[in-house]
Structure 1
């Protein structure tokens, strides 16, 4: 018989609340659209009050609901856990779930690469034990406690992604997660509106070390101008420090790299010896972040051969570098273009990394009306960059990899700065919105092209991705988890 995730007695003990009737639940959900039978529905207040959806959640099969008041119209025997504050109740469940497990916990933060590194860790650690990891980008003030509250007691490894938009957000979440190890992928210009400087961002990212368990390890990017800030913070809490990157002084150092379409093969020095590894994605940044995963495996003394073998099975998820052929002629699989979907988010560092990947792509010649396959980017505004936003957008034109890209189409008022800075021959279309750009894709793409789409989530570049897919038929892909 499966052990329930939460009994009413355990949930009451964790939150100090009151159960209207005894219940057991096997999951925790905040969304009635995806709720599973037997979940605990958490009636958070966000854009709308979750209490308005309690009846719907129970009708859909929820085992109970976490509420701060009894919604009208519920039957007298409705299974409820009453607390003073729903978010605090969720946090209490998260802390209790963390306290009852013997799992080794790793916290991941960074301006770029949090989610891909989390998913690498999920893949690699799954070969060494039972893994619990955050879904999607559940890395904020409700996402972290939700991830913890969902963690089964018999978990062997937990991967907790921790993000921020403003100062003071990371440390409390790290203290809730109490990681045995933390990884900082990179510190880069992002959320500059709130922090004003890259040093301010580094200090916030470094605060993830404040939640480290005694004798914990901090695995830090060693290639940054702000690495010293990260190292100082880790040492101030007594953490062991291991660095990764391409610099000579890094404990885990990338030595050589080969990128072939959707495979990156790397040679590195790790565990004081040379290792060869690969990831099923194109990009130097993926290889560097994979080094942080390799470093953690070394620190936790996991099986090295199994870890490297499993790392090779990792692939990026939807919106974060996933590649897909789009068949333009259903009768001839050669008549196609390749779509690189990076539409989930963007900042200067991640856009630069994505453009570097595109610059190394291999279009196919002789397939379409242009006879020569092209490398094409569709890029949208990068948000929350503060006073230097215009300069940061225009500066993308100076990246060396741009020379290898044929056309760059720009979406949004900020991206007009890049459009104007580009050499005239590389300028594609400029549009104020993604829906407008989507209408212009039909004549802009041809068979043999490689097309990369990237922009901040709020820019809605998914409309462009959808329009590109409608130019043909996406080729069948293996099943892939989107979280």
Structure 2
């Protein structure tokens, strides 16, 4: 990154409080974390419920910072060029938009209730069959993370794949207007964050905010099998749908889940692909359909697309398979959870090759608000219909998963544990050699703490 400070001030409509420090300062990095090495950087102090980045400004010169934003009309360090703005969070988004506009590369924005990260990863993998790809890393998909992701764009990048998350109305709109996508991908509309958005129709409205920053020549690619996305009408932008139905221009059939990969036949308006992807579950075929739709839109060849699919590897804690020395197979899908992703994970467990038992360790799904008990109960009812052997429901809300299982008089056994600690006491007694065990819960449950104590990984899995 190389930006003149004068251009930054103009882009964010800022006011320099000590112009004698301005000169022609060159900024080589944008930072919001004062703990980083900040040489040549502009610091953007953010305020939160329990912190205020302004308190760190006097310490920044020693770390190499040359300028700082501020919401206070006061120069806290006379050696730093100090730029006043009304709202530093908004300035961060404004600056991200300005920086993104320095690049003419295609940018694909991805949102949805579930599957955003997996879809982002497979799209990035497929496009890497031809191009140098920049993508969102980790969970940098919010109003802080997305700008920081955009600031890492470099001249050698040829395409960007950016994830957009949200909790409330207006957030996707602000992210889209910063990222300025050429293609918007919506994976589905489920129930995540329904406590803030009121209904699935509200969630759809929030997801469609991705069009607020979409290029005038832009395109929407959506999951046509989703009831709300499949019935979209009267949109300003053209829409391409994908799914398992032959009525969609991009559809899949002959889906088979194997021990460590999934195969399928994918049909597009111009080609047919026999794919093998190193990931588990029907939902990954949906993600691959979206990726192929993006790639064909940009003219990638069959060879380039196939090479990209072959390069895909699932991120950890997202359907990650681990074999323990004790002979137990773990399916770690504990990065996050919603009713839709719970059901998808249970389908994977149901079809996974197994000599012992198939067990599900299911934890709380958070951010469901007043809908939480009923949504957990529905997951339990769905679980009761799966061909698995047992369920451990872990957490306060997970008791409703257990209630859902019990309400169906399921053949499988099911037990509820109020806390992870109580489950941990019995875990090794419950899980036996040759069992296949699914761990699934919202990120806040920190199920990796359970997995870490379960056993050692086989040498060839390290």
Task: Calculate the TM-score normalised by the size of structure 2.
Answer: 0.89
Cα offset, 1:133, TM superposition = 1.7
Distance 1:15 1:72, change over 3 A: closer
C-alpha contact (below 8 Å) 2:46/2:88 kept by paired residues: yes
- Once the two structures are superposed, the pairs formed by residues 366-405 of structure 1 within 5 Å of their partners are 373-399=356-382, 402-405=385-388
C-alpha contact (below 8 Å) 1:411/1:432 kept by paired residues: yes
Aligned length: 453
Structure 1 stretch displaced more, 82-91 or 405-414: 82-91
Q: Tell me, what secondary structure is at the counterpart of 1:100?
A: coil
Cα offset, 1:77, TM superposition = 3.2
Are residue 77 (structure 1) and residue 74 (structure 2) matched? no
Q: Report the counterpart of residue 332 of structure 1 in structure 2.
A: none
Are residue 356 (structure 1) and residue 357 (structure 2) matched? no
- Alignment equivalent of 1:122, drawn from 124, 128, 134: 124
Q: Report the counterpart of residue 271 of structure 1 in structure 2.
A: 269
Cα offset, 1:397, TM superposition = 3.3
C-alpha contact (below 8 Å) 1:376/1:451 kept by paired residues: yes
Are residue 147 (structure 1) and residue 149 (structure 2) matched? yes
Return the alpha-carbon distance in structure 1 between the equivalents of residues 5 and 422 of structure 2. Answer: 52
- Once the two structures are superposed, the pairs formed by residues 110-259 of structure 1 within 5 Å of their partners are 110-228=112-230, 231-232=232-233, 235-237=234-236, 239-259=237-257
C-alpha contact (below 8 Å) 1:35/1:57 kept by paired residues: no
Distance 1:322 1:93, change over 3 A: same
Q: Report the counterpart of residue 47 of structure 2 in structure 1.
A: 45
Structure 1 stretch displaced more, 176-185 or 71-80: 71-80
Q: Tell me, what secondary structure is at the counterpart of 1:188?
A: coil
Q: Tell me, what secondary structure is at the counterpart of 1:165?
A: coil
C-alpha contact (below 8 Å) 2:94/2:178 kept by paired residues: no
Q: Report the counterpart of residue 317 of structure 2 in structure 1.
A: 319
Q: Tell me, what secondary structure is at the counterpart of 1:440?
A: helix
Q: Report the counterpart of residue 408 of structure 1 in structure 2.
A: 391
Return the alpha-carbon distance in structure 1 between the equivalents of residues 6 and 175 of structure 2. Answer: 26
Are residue 86 (structure 1) and residue 88 (structure 2) matched? yes
- CA deviation digits over 1:75-106, x for unaligned, max 9? 65346655443212211211111211101011
Distance 1:12 1:72, change over 3 A: closer
C-alpha contact (below 8 Å) 2:12/2:91 kept by paired residues: yes
Distance 1:389 1:246, change over 3 A: same
Q: Report the counterpart of residue 456 of structure 2 in structure 1.
A: 472
- Once the two structures are superposed, the pairs formed by residues 340-355 of structure 1 within 5 Å of their partners are 340-355=331-346
- Alignment equivalent of 1:302, drawn from 282, 300, 303: 300
C-alpha contact (below 8 Å) 2:230/2:241 kept by paired residues: no
- Alignment equivalent of 2:97, drawn from 95, 98, 108: 95
Distance 1:116 1:56, change over 3 A: farther
Return the alpha-carbon distance in structure 2 between the equivalents of residues 431 and 179 of structure 1. Answer: 45
C-alpha contact (below 8 Å) 2:38/2:65 kept by paired residues: no
Return the alpha-carbon distance in structure 1 between the equivalents of residues 345 and 264 of structure 2. Answer: 18
Cα offset, 1:24, TM superposition = 4.1
C-alpha contact (below 8 Å) 1:5/1:152 kept by paired residues: no
Return the alpha-carbon distance in structure 2 between the equivalents of residues 268 and 73 of structure 1. Answer: 60
Moved over 6 A (4+): 69-75
Distance 1:161 1:453, change over 3 A: same
C-alpha contact (below 8 Å) 1:215/1:240 kept by paired residues: no
Q: Tell me, what secondary structure is at the counterpart of 2:257?
A: strand
Distance 1:80 1:322, change over 3 A: farther
Return the alpha-carbon distance in structure 2 between the equivalents of residues 432 and 90 of structure 1. Answer: 41
Distance 1:466 1:400, change over 3 A: closer
- CA deviation digits over 1:8-28, x for unaligned, max 9? 344334334438466545443
Q: Gapped runs of 5+ residues in structure 2? A: none
Structure 1 stretch displaced more, 186-195 or 241-250: 186-195
Return the alpha-carbon distance in structure 2 between the equivalents of residues 348 and 42 of structure 1. Answer: 37
Q: Tell me, what secondary structure is at the counterpart of 1:441?
A: helix
Q: Report the counterpart of residue 290 of structure 2 in structure 1.
A: 292
- Alignment equivalent of 1:457, drawn from 434, 443, 446: 443
Return the alpha-carbon distance in structure 2 between the equivalents of residues 317 and 213 of structure 1. Answer: 30
Are residue 282 (structure 1) and residue 265 (structure 2) matched? no
Return the alpha-carbon distance in structure 2 between the equivalents of residues 349 and 164 of structure 1. Answer: 17
C-alpha contact (below 8 Å) 2:385/2:410 kept by paired residues: no
Cα offset, 1:293, TM superposition = 0.6
Q: Report the counterpart of residue 481 of structure 1 in structure 2.
A: none
**CA RMSD for the aligned pairs?**
2.8
Distance 1:322 1:30, change over 3 A: farther
C-alpha contact (below 8 Å) 1:51/1:71 kept by paired residues: no
Return the alpha-carbon distance in structure 2 between the equivalents of residues 176 and 263 of structure 1. Answer: 36
Return the alpha-carbon distance in structure 1 between the equivalents of residues 127 and 441 of structure 2. Answer: 31
Cα offset, 1:207, TM superposition = 2.5
Distance 1:64 1:360, change over 3 A: farther
